Chain A
Amino acid sequence: MPQKEYNLTTNEKLVLLALVKTRGLNPDNLAAESGLSVEAAMQAALMLDEKEFLEVFDDNQDYYKFTKEGEDYAINGLPERRIIELLERNPTLNIDELKKMLSSPYYIDYGLPWLIKKRWARIEKGRVIPIILKPEKGSDEKVIDDLKIYKKMNKELWTNNEVREVIYTLEKRDIIEKFTEKRRIIYITNRGRELVNKGITIEEEITQFTPAIIKSGAWKNKKIRPYNIHTPVKPVYGAKLHPYQRLINEMRSIFLEMGFTEIKGDIVQSSFWNFDALFQPQDHPAREMQDTFHLDTECDLPEEYIASVKKMHEKGGGISRGWGGNWSEDIARKQVLRTHTTAVTIKYLTDHPDPPVKAFCIDRAYRREAIDPTHTPEFEQLEGVVMDKGVSFKNLLGCLTEFYHRMGFDEVRFRPGYFPYTEPSVEPEVYIESRGKWVELGGAGVFRKEVTLPLGIKHPVLAWGLGVSRVAMLRLGLKDLRELYQSDIDWLRKSTVV
């Protein structure tokens, strides 16, 4: 069998040469002996390990070392030892006096029980009465002395039961603690030794190409150092769009592909456009301060629609029963943060009453809700309308089904719903396999005549408002909506572009 040519890099050769005279080196020593940096030496060593010329041996050893408290005792003695020493000097001291004399009053709390347990002293009427003076060092103190010298103790060193017992007690007293030391030793294998014995020559090799090497053609006579293509790479994260924005863009594209015009509007809206134009009665609970962000400001009403909207609310405008009572212009003038983007679509329809209109809007809506994992006071809404001669409820279901299918939700169903401004109203739901249940994703319906007629809209309007953040939670696997708005930069970095 022809001998395989081993294409060793210069660094690998240096590492083998460093090892061949030793019985193993740790990474620091290997670096020193080979004249390489620790990283370079170890990279070469790991490559050589794969080729079985050496072995990188990882060994974890458990040791005992002093805790912070233990270090103090190692220098100043155990608390019980310090108390007995004080008593040797002055046997009349009471507990309070002892407390004052020790650097920490806790020494008494920790020391006294042991003083008694070791039968060095007893307590009578608040005084500590020594039983023996200058007691001999106990086995625990001997272990502490040893550890003071050696700094760490291999737990295997103690085989005899008594010492094991002592160690157990010291550990319980928080004087010593276990720790694990990682050791790495690199040994040359017989195979490696053979290779070195056959003779290794160090020749210059190219690590980084330079303009000079390329121009001169010097590379032709030199070795080019190969990279280990299996070395894991440190991740770099390119800047990117917010994953939520990417989802919004996907929804935008779907509606654009379906021939919808994108529209936008103001965040601050009059109650008129947010509620009244949508035939929401002025005493409707949703309009109260609990649910809506009311503002101090007011604005003018669109003159041409005041009378017709008023008539519809109060008397039903000749087609409906209406809500009865008085419709107040003052209430309609008050401004709010839009509670839904329907305020934007209804205004757009009013300004564009000629069919056909297919429009959508994905923007923020505001509701007076306390923040929790599934509620935020502002959130994105996807609003869509179709206005044309002869469109009907089944077409509404058609638009929604198409949208959800394109979003990747295969199973869609429609449950009856209720919104003051649509009739029929539906709540579309999609089936989420992973959750094993139907999830409601918004509301939709055909605008009531009570809404469209006073605004001069003469044809049926199909409308929907879908919760974008619900979809985001499903898509991005979020458990807390706040992640979208108060983003962890690492979450953004690690999010994927799919």
Chain B
Amino acid sequence: MPVITLYYDDLEDLSGIDKNTLIKRIPMMGCDIERIGDDHIDIEFFPNRPDLYSTEGVARALRGFLGIETGIREYKTAPSGIEITKDREIEKIRPYFACAVIRNMQFNSRSIESLMALQESLHWAVGRNRRKVSIGVHDLARIKPPFRYIAQYPGFKFTPLDFQEPMTMREILEKHPKGIKFASILEKFDKYPLILDSEDNVLSFPPIINGELTRVTEETTDLLIEVTGLSPSVSTALNIVVSALAERGGRIETVTIDGGMETPRLEPDIMELKNNEVEKLIGLKFSNEEIITCLEKMRYGARSSENKIEVAVPAYRSDILHNCDLIEDIGIGYGFDKIKPELPATSTTGSSHPISKLRDALREIMVGLGYFEVMPFTLTSDRVQFEMMRREKAEGITHIKYPISEDHTIVRHTILPNLLEILSINTHRELPQRIFEAGEVVLNCKTEQRLGAVAIHPQANFTEIQAVMDAVLRERRMEYEVAESDDPAFIEGRRADIIIKGEKAGVFGEIHPEVISNFGLEHPVIGFELEL
């Protein structure tokens, strides 16, 4: 999740809120403080609130939450008169598009940093790493409208950001750091998206890189912001960016796309909420006035109309899907700390799951027999499950598609190898060691219950483990027979299968010396594993 850096001085300029108040109150607005520094704080905001990914957005929310300025922020727009046309071919490559002009900005290093950070966070959270949405910000003074959004052949050349020489778009994908990083987004296409001005100067090669020409500096006052993508979320991203810039004094102007649609569209969405919906979900009775106050603290517009409350949802809020989202914000505005916890009146009787009862019983038996319980990982590897055990690879094993380490490539289907691994990390500890696990394995995608136990000490032998296995089954009143086993993990002539109701249900015996050595052990080891 994006971590936002807020400089106390910048935030105080924008909101009038000092460091101490910030640290104390911001967790109750909904976020995790990552780090508190001397001149800044790093905060992780949730992925449903991309509007909080900038200092400007946080300042706007905090002013409301702390009651400094409440209600909806209305952002006025004026037409810029600038037009942009869309090539038909682009519809197949990156069809969604929105654009805006911001004038009258005064940038300094902090505000440029905040804008760049906002852009990057939006690329992650809304843009899914630029695939779904990508944003370009340009110095409007360097380019001449009208603009064109077209599909261009990879051989087209221009100078990308941070480079001195023109490169073809193909070269950019191969050599430019951003090109290498995001090339996969365009791998299926033979033409690439490109935005040009009336004199064929390149604004951007979305979603990869801007042209060097339109770089934003502290001298920049007027901006063109374009958002391209694969979903209507382009509007959300644009609204979040322009409203943040407006918080710094920028004037928002609209752009005409293909002679028709004007963007950005910052009119609030209107939703209707009933008083009793709030009571039902939160569990507290609120008056309409209280609800309106809470909504206004969360920067909504709200008014009573007949028996409903009409809520104006700001255009930068993309997370309001349902009234429950409004009600959560009412709760936050009211203060989660003021909601008195109350146990539900629901009366039910509890019961343990049969598997838990079974495992509890097995634990009692095994502890009584002198075995310590262990709880190893269920993720393991072919090497441990098969090679080190001298066993043939089995069918029905759960393989992980993109393992994170060589040690965790499959889910175990037997417990014994894990128990031997635990012995192997305890070779420096006193003998005898006796351990067991009543745990789960996965075979053919189904979770199964197993009991496994091993013991290591100089006198460990077949008779000892047979007696333990016999005790377990006797305590569980399970009739069993034994049969010759061919399990290569055990020593021939000192191993046996456990047969219950005519079917193999387990194996026990003396572990094969090769297996003992494979696990780095030096004393006789005995063990059993039982399917339950």
Contacts and interface: CB of A to CB of B under 8 A. Distances in A.
A265 B281 CA distance: 29
Interface stretch (A38-46, A123-131, A177-185, A238-246): A238-246
A423 B371 CA distance: 46
A97 to B, nearest CB: 48
Given A262-B356, A337-B411, A488-B426, A398 B342 contact: yes
B27 A267 contact: no
A217 to B, nearest CB: 37
A417 B30 contact: yes
Interface size class of A (residues with CB under 8 A): 35 or more
Interface in B372-393: 372-379
Contacts of B356: 252, 262, 264
B404 A386 contact: no
A395 B401 contact: no
Given A316-B321, A393-B283, A489-B429, A324 B231 contact: yes
Nearest to A486: B425
B346 interface: yes
A228 to B, nearest CB: 26
Interface stretch (A68-76, A105-113, A292-300): A292-300
B375 A245 contact: yes
A261 to B, nearest CB: 5
B322 interface: yes
Contact of A450 (B27, B48, B321): B321
Contacts of A297: 398, 445
B426 A268 contact: no
B401 A289 contact: yes
A470 to B, nearest CB: 14
A449 to B, nearest CB: 6
Nearest to B49: A418
Interface string B122-149: 0010001000100000000000000000
A370 B344 contact: no
A91 interface: no
B164 interface: no
A238 B320 CA distance: 58
Interface stretch (B246-254, B434-442, B481-489): B434-442
B24 interface: no
B21 interface: no
A417 B321 contact: no
Given A398-B342, A424-B328, A376 B377 contact: yes
Interface string A250-277: 0010011111111111111000000000
A304 interface: no
A356 B231 CA distance: 41
Contacts of A293: 400-402
A487 B336 contact: no
Contacts of B16: none
A489 B447 contact: no
Given A335-B445, A485-B377, A416 B346 contact: no
Interface in B328-344: 328, 331-332, 336-337, 339-344
Interface string B6-43: 00000000000000000000011110100000000000
Given A393-B339, A399-B343, A489-B433, A259 B28 contact: no
B446 A266 contact: yes
A393 B445 contact: no
B402 A256 contact: no
B132 to A, nearest CB: 7
Contacts of B379: 366, 377-378
A371 B186 CA distance: 34
Contacts of B349: 259
Interface in A480-498: 484-490, 492-493
B400 to A, nearest CB: 5
Given A241-B367, A245-B373, A335-B445, A261 B350 contact: yes
Contact of A423 (B47, B322, B337, B445): B322
A268 B128 contact: no
Interface in A408-434: 413-418, 420, 423-427
Classify the interface of chain A: helix, strand, loop or mixed: mixed
A320 interface: yes
B372 A424 contact: no
Contacts of B232: 324
Nearest to B424: A486
A450 B352 contact: no
A369 interface: yes
Interface residues of B, number: 86
A36 interface: no
B331 A424 contact: yes
A293 B442 CA distance: 14
A356 B368 CA distance: 40
A252 B351 CA distance: 10
A198 B197 CA distance: 121
A321 to B, nearest CB: 4
A462 B331 CA distance: 16
A152 interface: no
B180 interface: no
Interface in B477-502: none
B280 interface: yes
B363 A241 contact: yes
A244 B447 contact: no
B398 A321 contact: no
A314 interface: no
Contact of A368 (B46, B368, B404): B404
A370 B405 contact: yes
Contacts of B109: none
Contacts of B408: 377
B471 interface: no
A255 B47 CA distance: 32
A377 to B, nearest CB: 6
Interface in B295-354: 320-322, 324-325, 327-328, 331-332, 336-337, 339-344, 346-353
B401 A294 contact: yes
Interface in B398-424: 398-402, 404-405, 408, 411, 421-422
Contacts of A448: 322, 324
Contact of B346 (A358, A376, A424): A358
Given A394-B340, A416-B332, A449-B324, A485 B375 contact: yes
B400 A263 contact: no
B294 to A, nearest CB: 12
B355 interface: yes
A263 B340 CA distance: 29
Interface in A272-311: 283, 285, 289, 293-297, 299
A426 B375 contact: no
Given A245-B363, A325-B231, A416 B283 contact: no
A394 B351 contact: no
Contact of B30 (A238, A245, A401, A415): A415
B430 to A, nearest CB: 8
Given A400-B341, A415-B336, A267 B328 contact: no
B282 interface: yes
A94 interface: no
B47 A414 contact: no
A426 B351 contact: no
Contacts of B446: 266, 268
B284 interface: yes
A441 interface: no
A355 B434 CA distance: 46
16 contacts: A239-B369, A255-B350, A260-B348, A266-B442, A355-B346, A377-B404, A378-B377, A393-B281, A398-B344, A418-B46, A418-B49, A427-B32, A450-B321, A487-B374, A487-B422, A490-B426
9 tightest A-B CB contacts, nearest first = A392-B283, A418-B46, A394-B283, A416-B30, A397-B341, A424-B328, A395-B344, A256-B350, A262-B353
Given A239-B370, A321-B321, A364-B378, 15 more contacts: A245-B373, A262-B350, A266-B447, A268-B446, A337-B411, A369-B404, A378-B379, A394-B339, A394-B342, A398-B342, A400-B341, A401-B341, A416-B336, A448-B324, A490-B430
